[in-house]
Amino acid sequence: MAKAACDRLFINAHFATMTPGGEPYGAIDADALAVTGDRISWLGLAEDGLPDAPEVIDLEGRWITPGLIDCHTHLVYAGNRAQEFEMGLNGATYEEIAAKGGGILSTVMATREASESDLAAESQTRLQALISAGVTTVEIKSGYGLDLENEVKMLEAAKHLGEINPVRVLKTFLGAHALPPEFAGDSDGYMAKVIHEMLPTIHALGLVDAIDAFCEKIAFSEDQVRQLFKAADRMNIPVKIHAEQLSNQRGAELAAHFRALSADHLEYIDEKAVKEMARAGTVAVILPGAFYYLRETQKPPIKLFREHGVPMALATDCNPGSSPTTNPQLMMNMAAVLFRLTPEEALAGFTRNAAKALGLSSEIGTLEVGKQADLAIWDIEHPSELTQAIGSNPLYSRIFGGQ
């Protein structure tokens, strides 16, 4: 039977489709893939007959995976904290650094002072690094503005980056990230502002694909986050959470109650909460960059996530204070070495499970007919190389939406 013509045809390739339940990496007996418009339109063997295409690309035995997905970043910000890093290595405590104007509030001040165009320009360099590493979808959080004007500015900058680059940008409102200086000692007052002023306005502006909150002793309580999630639920906005990074504050259980897309960090989560996440379909986003950078010792319970069937995603957590990286492959290697994820689990963490953590499983994350033609093409002999090498970049080419 003649096959329908396509726009672009890739031949002589190997495929790690990352579909679950079959061969490792979802590897299939196929050597060619067709793209029509922005979709995968055919996947099969050349010997069975190829679709007609005006453009045929011979990949000479290279591997194709889904485009990588970075599902947790704080990529938009101004300034940097390199001097604070040096101070800490020289013995300064967190409190001493904060007393000298450092810590998260130093990033808040720099971000507030930057114009939207300056913020986008500074963040463009970080986004380009992710694109060059094979990323085709990136989530970008706000959370360094901590007032309406500057949270909007951050989300507008993220939106602009998605408009001028060949990458899909998801915008997450993280107003409940930290307490701004003008609300010192009044976390209830600030959360009320987030719920009743900031969230409705940002939602009305079309700048929020999901909301997030930091549920921790140094941030916001379970009850405060619950009120925020109730408000988001009334607006049909998906929720995510930073939870159980430094202690167990029951944030992951709360997230599961609201059927959150993901709960992230999770070093201190217990088995009861893992079971709740499994029932809710909430993804565990593992962030080895922050674990490494902060020299933490409590590891996320990978065995429990496996036992209870909780999907594990990985992300760079790109941010100036605890994970200043734009290297997905380094995160895959860290997840394997520090937490003992398998290379297949690590790659699933930046593809299939990352898509689920953003609510986009039906569109991206695996190589299947009908899905978006977001592809990463690699100069490798086996997909395990993507995790084994420490921070290398064997990307040969990257396809976004078929282009």
Residue 350 near residue 304 (C-beta atoms within 8 A): no
Residue 76 near residue 387 (C-beta atoms within 8 A): no
φ, ψ of residue 322 in degrees (nearest 5): -135, -5
**117 is annotated as contributing to ligand binding:** no
Residue 48: Cβ within 10 Å count: 10
Among 73, 232, 213, CA closest to 146: 213
CA pair distance 165, 163, nearest whole angstrom: 6
**115 is annotated as contributing to ligand binding:** no
CA pair distance 328, 299, nearest whole angstrom: 19
Strands of 6-134, DSSP E: 8-11, 14-15, 32-36, 39-44, 56-58, 63-66, 68-70
**396 is annotated as contributing to ligand binding:** no
**12 is annotated as contributing to ligand binding:** no
**177 is annotated as contributing to ligand binding:** yes
Query: Which single residue is written with the structure tokens 């938009």?
Result: 76
CA pair distance 355, 165, nearest whole angstrom: 19
CA pair distance 283, 355, nearest whole angstrom: 10
**223 is annotated as contributing to ligand binding:** no
H helix runs in 10-115, sequence order: 82-89, 94-99, 104-113
**83 is annotated as contributing to ligand binding:** no
CA pair distance 179, 190, nearest whole angstrom: 7
**382 is annotated as contributing to ligand binding:** no
**26 is annotated as contributing to ligand binding:** no
Query: Which single residue is written with the structure tokens 């360099």?
Result: 125
**265 is annotated as contributing to ligand binding:** no
**317 is annotated as contributing to ligand binding:** yes
Which residues belong to the annotated binding site? Answer: 72, 74, 81, 144, 177, 242, 245, 317, 319, 321-322
Which residues belong to the annotated binding site for Fe(3+)? Answer: 72, 74, 242, 317
Which residues belong to the annotated binding site for Zn(2+)? Answer: 72, 74, 242, 317
Which residues belong to the annotated binding site for N-formimidoyl-L-glutamate? Answer: 144, 319, 321
Which residues belong to the annotated binding site for 4-imidazolone-5-propanoate? Answer: 81, 144, 177, 245, 322
